[in-house]
Chains A and B, each alone.
Chain A
Amino acid sequence: MRSIDDFTRPVEYLSPLDRSLGEILRNWAEKEVIPNRREYDEDWEEHRLIEPAFGRLMAELGLQRVLFPEEVGGWGLGHSDYLGTGSYRMFEEIARADSAMAVAFGVVFWPLIMICNEPHVNMRLCEEFAPMFCETDKAVFCANAMTEPQGGADIENMDLLKGSTIETTAVLDGDQWVINGHKLWPTNSGGVADLFGVVCTTSPGSIDPEDFAFIFVPGDAEGVTQGKPYQKAGMAADKNSDIWFENVRVPSWYRACGPGDDFKYFKEVICLGSMGTVAFVSGAMMNVYEILKGFCEEKTYRGRPLKENDDVAGLLADFVRDLEVIRVIGYQFARMMDRPDLYGDRWSEEMVVKGRAFKYFAADKAVENLGLVMNLMGAHGSDRVRDVEKHWRDLKIAQLWMGGKQLCQMEVARWFFECETL
């Protein structure tokens, strides 16, 4: 019988851990998430059902440690050749069950990329923060605080605006940074995050990359306030809220990489976000494939199983065609992250742009395909019991976050066509 494992991946790219990690995560998803996920929408504020599943994944199975170097108790993914493909598999398996959980999990790594990845490992900060993640039996979360009320896309539009619209300020006062500002939307906010990576500026309005600063702030630092989670169309397992930083003081060495390098390596963070988005899409679409296959065998049309009708089969074929393509592209980009020796630096403009192109292609295809699948399912398409509508609601955000589709389009056009005024 065909299954989700029949979708193509470039197998020679995969990490040696791929199979066992995949199995562990699939078991976890089947046991801890899939049976409960239909209740997640009502659990968006409390996370009573969601928290225990995270606890098992991150603390008990230990996956919150994977990025940290072995010397500080981690699994060393950040200096392996499998940062991309290894993470891709994890994100994909989790997203098959719930893409919001995959995001929340992915964002635990997201700011840590700045300090855990070769060649820019900041060992002092790894030592500082590793115990939070590696010496605990509780799930611990990070948040990557970029977006501000006046606009998230502009902050991610680094090539054009170079951080000049960032309003969160960092002022050096002796051996401390003093941070002031208001952020919106970070994944794992709303009271969840234990550690923030905060995008700030040391000189508001400046286009000098040296003024772009990425500074870590513990969630319990004085002056940090996380608001109540927002209610949204989907993604219940990811809490998002306002965060206010009011005269928050952290040691000066909490800056991730330093002047110039924060700006440079932050582009690697963007690339991981794009790759993660493709993985969330392919994981969720794989689950939709499983559901759709069952549905088309159970229901009849013109007296035959739904899938045995030519017109329906045409739509089914389109769906799996797109899923095949998305998955291959996703693993390809993951490989490009793994092998800078072959594909160039993970923080290069070229990688950012290619990641953006793959991200918005996958997100567009997801929204289009899941909408069509719901239409195909007729009166059952919007039924929570079938789970497809949940993936449809969840995946819509994949188009919107990280600056939205139009920012992706502009960056891609600018690079490939060498546009000069956009």
Chain B
Amino acid sequence: MADYKALPHWLAVWIEIIGQFRLPSVFFAVCRVIESVRVDYEACSKPFMIVEGEMKYQEIFPVPREWVQDIDEFMAETVTRWAEQEVIAGRLEHAEDYDKLLVPAIRKLFIDIGLQSMLWPEELGGGGLGTPEAAMTVATVLEQVGFADTGIGFLYANSFALQHAFAVEPHRNGELLQELVPVFCGDEVAVGSLVLPGYGSGNPGEGGAFHGLAYQVAAESRNGGWALSGKAVRPQCSGKTAALFAVAFDAGDGEPAVVLLKSDDDGLSSGEPFKKTGLAASLNADLDLKEVEAPGALVILRGEERFREMLSVYYMCCAAICVGSLLATYEILKVWGDTRVIKGKGQEFKENPLVASLMGEAAGGIATSRVLTYNLARMLSRPDIYGPPGSQATYATATVIFKHVTRSAMLSMNNTMELMGSAGYATEWNLERYWRDVKCIENSVIPETAARVDLARHFFGCRTL
């Protein structure tokens, strides 16, 4: 395991970069609306620090502190400053504009801050975090990214889960890492996108089923590699812009495998981005695959256990983004609750017992979601204690936590919107954006029914489902 106490050279470079990140806080946008509220901006820049005098979400909502290492905290702080400077400040002017706001912010996060190459060995120009403990690091980081922009978090969740399959011990694949250095350690943003099983379309060419869900591509073994075909294949994100797709397929007898396809591979084409509820950072589009050939070396995993591991990591990442969005929701509701008046003049909103009970429910959802997500990250980062991340048990826990967090995020956001009346529905207050974004994550990562049956299979031993 890496010794996180000894900070590697590239951190020094980071410290230089983050020196420039000194902009106002996450409260900035909201405070412009409610001018009467004064906020300690400096304090907002430190995700895990206890700030004397003023209670911030960082200290109110519990984190199992002993699991968070210096490196995690440091990176989360860096990303918090990125969030403030690159996203939140710019949002006032550019709302969700893809080219003006999101593309530059993604570039800064992926390339300048270096999340894109975080798992790559230092000698290949990466961050050297290719151990299971990267799961905890990414949880702390994605929380901050999700706080700023759920969609950007979602792109990174996909990229991270894809890379985790071959860049993290004990599955580190040196040859593949070497081959993909130009993609992930270069100057261009490289988003990786997962292509997971989903509902079938009943077409004859469809590629087998994994626990009832159909593989979106049919695969044929060819020249030691694979030829993949599929129509209207829906990636999780960025169908139009991703550099790589990690495509799940049936490697024979229902055995799941995942192969990397490059966006410029022969036979692979993407349609126009489709409109959707949220996640503006993801220009998603369906793919057509006409016998796209991939060498066997690009198969990043094979077998149920490895596939479950990838999904568990992905679910954890998605949960962490949602926690970040929940923390943003909390801040918005806090300002509202402190300043709004109902039931006649002078009646402070949060002092009304009915609204307080809803605020309490929202807070409870945020607190449990945060603790659960860190617990899952811990399980994935310490296989020596919790067993292989691809075990049935860990996968079941990951599914439970992902479903719990997304459900309670939607509940809390729905309640918050209720409490804010039309302001909650207005773009100006930002809440509705998080609400739309998290909804996309809730419904598109795994169909509800399939998740439930996955859990029943594990906990109740269903044999035929």
Query: Closest B-chain residue to A401, C-beta based?
Result: B422
Cβ-defined contact, B343 with A161, below 8 A: yes
Cβ-defined contact, A396 with B201, below 8 A: no
Cβ-defined contact, A301 with B277, below 8 A: no
Counting CB contacts under 8 A, is A41 at the interface?
Answer: yes
B274 to chain A: which residues have CB within 8 Å?
383-385
- Knowing A372-B448, A375-B448, A382-B276 touch, does A151 contact B341 (C-beta < 8 A)? yes
**Chain B contact residues, CB within 8 Å of chain A:** 95, 198-202, 209, 212-214, 234, 236, 274-279, 340-345, 354-355, 358, 410, 414, 417-419, 421-422, 424-428, 432, 435-436, 439-440, 442-444, 446-450, 452-453, 465
- Within A219-238, the residues touching B (CB, 8 Å) are 230-235
Cβ-defined contact, B278 with A154, below 8 A: no
Expressed in whole angstroms, the Cα–Cα distance for A259 and B442 within the complex equals 52
A311 to chain B: which residues have CB within 8 Å?
449, 452-453
- Knowing A303-B209, A378-B446, A382-B439 touch, does A406 contact B426 (C-beta < 8 A)? no
Cβ-defined contact, B342 with A154, below 8 A: yes
Cβ-defined contact, B355 with A396, below 8 A: no
- Knowing A157-B343, A311-B453, A382-B443 touch, does A397 contact B425 (C-beta < 8 A)? yes
Q: List 12 A-B contacts (CB under 8 A).
A: A152-B421, A233-B425, A300-B201, A311-B453, A375-B448, A376-B448, A393-B277, A396-B417, A396-B435, A401-B421, A404-B421, A406-B418
B450 touches which one: A160, A184, A301 (CB < 8 A)? A301
Minimal beta-carbon separation of B201 from chain A (angstroms)? 7
| Complex interface bits, A375-389 against B, C-beta within 8 A gives 1, otherwise 0 | 111111111110001
B450 to chain A: which residues have CB within 8 Å?
301, 378
5 shortest interchain CB distances as A-B pairs: A378-B447, A384-B275, A381-B443, A300-B200, A375-B448
Cβ-defined contact, A302 with B345, below 8 A: no
B448 to chain A: which residues have CB within 8 Å?
315, 372, 375-376, 378
A312 touches which one: B345, B354, B355, B449 (CB < 8 A)? B449
Counting CB contacts under 8 A, is A8 at the interface?
Answer: no
Counting CB contacts under 8 A, is A405 at the interface?
Answer: yes
Counting CB contacts under 8 A, is A400 at the interface?
Answer: yes
Counting CB contacts under 8 A, is A36 at the interface?
Answer: no
Instruction: Add 10 more A-B contacts to A152-B421, A382-B443, A396-B435 (CB < 8 A).
Output: A151-B342, A153-B342, A160-B344, A234-B425, A300-B214, A301-B212, A376-B447, A385-B275, A404-B421, A406-B419
A399 to chain B: which residues have CB within 8 Å?
417-418
Minimal beta-carbon separation of A118 from chain B (angstroms)? 33
Counting CB contacts under 8 A, is A181 at the interface?
Answer: no
A372 to chain B: which residues have CB within 8 Å?
448
Cβ-defined contact, A376 with B449, below 8 A: yes
Minimal beta-carbon separation of A315 from chain B (angstroms)? 7
B447 to chain A: which residues have CB within 8 Å?
301, 375-379
Expressed in whole angstroms, the Cα–Cα distance for A409 and B357 within the complex equals 13
Counting CB contacts under 8 A, is A410 at the interface?
Answer: yes
Cβ-defined contact, A152 with B422, below 8 A: yes
- Knowing A230-B428, A379-B234 touch, does A150 contact B452 (C-beta < 8 A)? no
Counting CB contacts under 8 A, is A287 at the interface?
Answer: no
Counting CB contacts under 8 A, is A134 at the interface?
Answer: no
Cβ-defined contact, A299 with B444, below 8 A: no
Cβ-defined contact, B449 with A315, below 8 A: yes
Expressed in whole angstroms, the Cα–Cα distance for A164 and B346 within the complex equals 13
**Chain A contact residues, CB within 8 Å of chain B:** 38, 41, 147, 150-154, 157, 160-161, 164-165, 184-185, 230-235, 240, 298-303, 305-306, 309, 311-312, 315, 367, 371-372, 374-385, 389, 392-393, 396-397, 399-401, 404-406, 409-410
- Knowing A164-B344, A376-B447, A404-B418 touch, does A230 contact B277 (C-beta < 8 A)? no
A409 to chain B: which residues have CB within 8 Å?
354
B212 to chain A: which residues have CB within 8 Å?
301-303
Cβ-defined contact, A405 with B234, below 8 A: no
Expressed in whole angstroms, the Cα–Cα distance for A386 and B389 within the complex equals 36
Expressed in whole angstroms, the Cα–Cα distance for A315 and B342 within the complex equals 38
Cβ-defined contact, A406 with B355, below 8 A: yes
Cβ-defined contact, A301 with B354, below 8 A: no
A396 to chain B: which residues have CB within 8 Å?
414, 417, 425, 435
B278 to chain A: which residues have CB within 8 Å?
382
Expressed in whole angstroms, the Cα–Cα distance for A367 and B425 within the complex equals 14
Expressed in whole angstroms, the Cα–Cα distance for A164 and B453 within the complex equals 55
- Knowing A152-B421, A301-B200, A301-B450 touch, does A381 contact B428 (C-beta < 8 A)? no
- Knowing A300-B214, A301-B212 touch, does A378 contact B342 (C-beta < 8 A)? no
Cβ-defined contact, B439 with A400, below 8 A: no
B340 to chain A: which residues have CB within 8 Å?
151
A160 touches which one: B343, B414, B424 (CB < 8 A)? B343
- Knowing A382-B276, A382-B277, A405-B418 touch, does A375 contact B442 (C-beta < 8 A)? yes
Query: Closest B-chain residue to A164, C-beta based?
Result: B344
B344 to chain A: which residues have CB within 8 Å?
154, 160-161, 164-165
- Knowing A161-B343, A301-B213, A410-B354 touch, does A306 contact B277 (C-beta < 8 A)? no
A185 to chain B: which residues have CB within 8 Å?
422
B419 to chain A: which residues have CB within 8 Å?
404, 406
Minimal beta-carbon separation of B172 from chain A (angstroms)? 31
Query: Closest A-chain residue to B465, C-beta based?
Result: A302
A400 touches which one: B276, B358, B421, B440 (CB < 8 A)? B421
Expressed in whole angstroms, the Cα–Cα distance for A312 and B358 within the complex equals 31
A384 to chain B: which residues have CB within 8 Å?
274-277
Minimal beta-carbon separation of B190 from chain A (angstroms)? 23
Expressed in whole angstroms, the Cα–Cα distance for A385 and B198 within the complex equals 18
Minimal beta-carbon separation of A353 from chain B (angstroms)? 16
- Knowing A367-B414, A378-B443 touch, does A231 contact B277 (C-beta < 8 A)? no
- Knowing A157-B343, A165-B345, A400-B418 touch, does A300 contact B199 (C-beta < 8 A)? yes
Cβ-defined contact, A153 with B449, below 8 A: no
A367 to chain B: which residues have CB within 8 Å?
414
Name the residue among A161, A312, A378, A385 with the largest chain B CB count within 10 angstroms: A378
Query: Closest A-chain residue to B442, C-beta based?
Result: A375
Expressed in whole angstroms, the Cα–Cα distance for A382 and B276 within the complex equals 5
Query: Closest A-chain residue to B427, C-beta based?
Result: A231
Cβ-defined contact, A377 with B443, below 8 A: yes
Cβ-defined contact, B432 with A153, below 8 A: no
- Knowing A154-B342, A302-B212, A409-B354 touch, does A400 contact B422 (C-beta < 8 A)? yes
B275 to chain A: which residues have CB within 8 Å?
38, 41, 383-385
- Knowing A41-B275, A232-B432 touch, does A301 contact B422 (C-beta < 8 A)? no
B443 to chain A: which residues have CB within 8 Å?
374-375, 377-379, 381-382
Query: Closest B-chain residue to A160, C-beta based?
Result: B343
A41 to chain B: which residues have CB within 8 Å?
275
Cβ-defined contact, A382 with B444, below 8 A: yes
Cβ-defined contact, A154 with B453, below 8 A: no
Expressed in whole angstroms, the Cα–Cα distance for A372 and B453 within the complex equals 16
Expressed in whole angstroms, the Cα–Cα distance for A161 and B341 within the complex equals 13
B424 to chain A: which residues have CB within 8 Å?
400
- Knowing A382-B444, A383-B274, A400-B425 touch, does A393 contact B201 (C-beta < 8 A)? no
Expressed in whole angstroms, the Cα–Cα distance for A329 and B419 within the complex equals 26
Expressed in whole angstroms, the Cα–Cα distance for A230 and B354 within the complex equals 29
Expressed in whole angstroms, the Cα–Cα distance for A234 and B446 within the complex equals 25
A309 touches which one: B198, B425, B428, B449 (CB < 8 A)? B449
A147 to chain B: which residues have CB within 8 Å?
422
